[in-house]
Amino acid sequence: MDFDLPEETLAVQRLCRDFAAKEIAPYAADWSERAYFPAEVFRKLGGLGLMGMLVDEAYGGANAGFVSYVAAMEALGAVDQSVASAWNAHSTIASLPLATFGTEDQKQKWLAPLASGQNIGAFGLTEPTAGSDAAAIRTQARRDGDGWVLNGTKMFISNAGTEMSLGVTVLAVTGGGDGGKKRFGTFFVPDGTPGYEKGQPLRKLGWHAMDTRELVFTDCRLTGDHLIGEEGNGLRQFLEVLDAGRISVAALALSLAQAALDLAIRHAGDRHQFGRPLSGFQAVGHKLADMATEIEAARGLVYRAAWLGDRGRPFGKEAAMAKLYASEVANRAASASVQIHGGYGYIRESEISRFYADAKILEIGEGTNEVQRNVIAKAITSTHR
């Protein structure tokens, strides 16, 4: 059993670390304070071939696989969670529906500019009255000749309102099937489409530099070629790409936990009380030991899920486990790190305060941790029937 990462994966990770240190770290705190979306950073990521890591090379991607993607996320997320989370949403749930179910024309028209970094992508599922219960969405798409008319509202949608947004992929109800069961469709709505409006940026607890908004569709007309995949299979299509999104959030959480530990170790070595560094106190040392142990356990779960995905093996249960555990470790690590920092950790000028604010959403996004437990429970009980 070989736990060493392949050299090509390590090369990607080094590239991302160098880029993050130079292009993100010096500015991340300022971006957060100003709630500024750094479009220039994502264009540079595109120039490095990192905006389409999970997309085929034929459409401008790198097809690097999940393990390399997780390694890249570890490097980016350890510096700025806002940039990393926007990159996550773009790379997975915004791009993969087109990559997996799109026609050749759709891929050339919309996927290629996303994968190259010319544009950034968004996905619209959540609504004011539907989140974990994805099947309860109310946004409607009704047939209109050869096209569709979209009506409804999406909430908490990331990357849709930036200067480099291409459009949004939207899940909508397309009708009723046998027994009144809903049918769903997935549609790409380009920026500038009449009837598609964006609300003001939402003021969030964390992820301040990530663009997040409400989207409203009012008699928004789309031609038939904006339907992605088969009508009626939209929800199934979304759930199929969601496992990749869960691995991505798990990797994001892993990066935050490691950053929290690194900051705690540094502060514990620099800060002196009672004539010795904080790291010399057993109570602090035990906190650091617990953080380090949990992070290594989370890393194993995350990379195993990614490894399974790269080999084309089922990884839904493992992705849910990785997302569940890593996100909770991230919250524990951020809290412990703030405790070790003491008063310095509670002021907004401290780096750990930004990670602490960013941590909570990791237990909510891409399926709440309650939903992850449902997924895991269903998977483990179904194998024993």
Question: Distance between CA atoms of 53 and 62, rounded to whole angstroms?
Answer: 5
> Any idea where the domains of the chain sit in the sequence?
7-116, 121-235, 241-382
Residue corresponding to tokens 């090379």: 57
CA atoms within 13 A on the CB side of 341: 25
How far is residue 255's CA from residue 78's CA, in Å, rounded to a whole number?
A: 5
Q: What is the DSSP string of 201-225?
A: PP--SS-TTS-EEEEEEEEEEE-GG
Is residue 273 helix, strand or coil? strand
Topology of domain 7-116 in CATH is Butyryl-Coa Dehydrogenase, subunit A; domain 1 (1.10.540)
Structure letter (DSSP) for residue 79? T
Query: Tens-digit pLDDT profile for the chain (385 aa)?
Result: 789 999 999 999 999 999 999 999 999 999 999 999 999 999 999 999 999 999 999 999 999 999 999 999 999 999 999 999 999 999 999 999 999 999 999 999 999 999 999 999 999 999 999 989 999 999 999 999 999 999 999 999 999 999 999 999 999 999 986 677 899 999 999 999 999 999 999 999 999 999 999 999 999 999 999 999 999 999 999 989 999 999 999 999 999 999 999 999 999 999 999 999 999 999 999 999 999 999 999 999 999 999 999 999 999 999 999 999 999 999 999 999 999 999 999 999 999 999 999 999 999 999 999 999 999 999 999 876 5
User: Residue 120 phi/psi, 5° resolution?
Assistant: -120, 150
DSSP-assigned letters across all residues of 128-189 = TTBSS-GGG---EEEEETTEEEEEEEEEEEESTTSTTEEEEEEEEEEEE-GGG-EEEEEEEE
Buried b (16+ CB within 10 A) or exposed e, 49-60: bbbbbbbeeebb
**171: its two tokens:** 């899940």
Q: How far is residue 348's CA from residue 368's CA, in Å, rounded to a whole number?
A: 27
CATH superfamily of 121-235: Butyryl-CoA Dehydrogenase, subunit A, domain 2 (2.40.110.10)
Catalytic residue annotation: 366
Predicted model pTM: 0.96
Q: Do domains 7-116 and 241-382 have the same CATH topology?
A: no
Confirm or reject CATH 3.40.50.720 for domain 241-382, answering yes or no.
no
Q: How far is CA 324 from CA 16, 64, 203, 354, 376, in A?
A: 25, 25, 25, 21, 10
Q: What is the pLDDT of residue 84?
A: 98
Tell me the helix, strand and coil percentages in the chain, rounded to 5.
55, 15, 25
The per-residue pLDDT for 4 is 93
In the prediction, which pLDDT does 385 show? 59
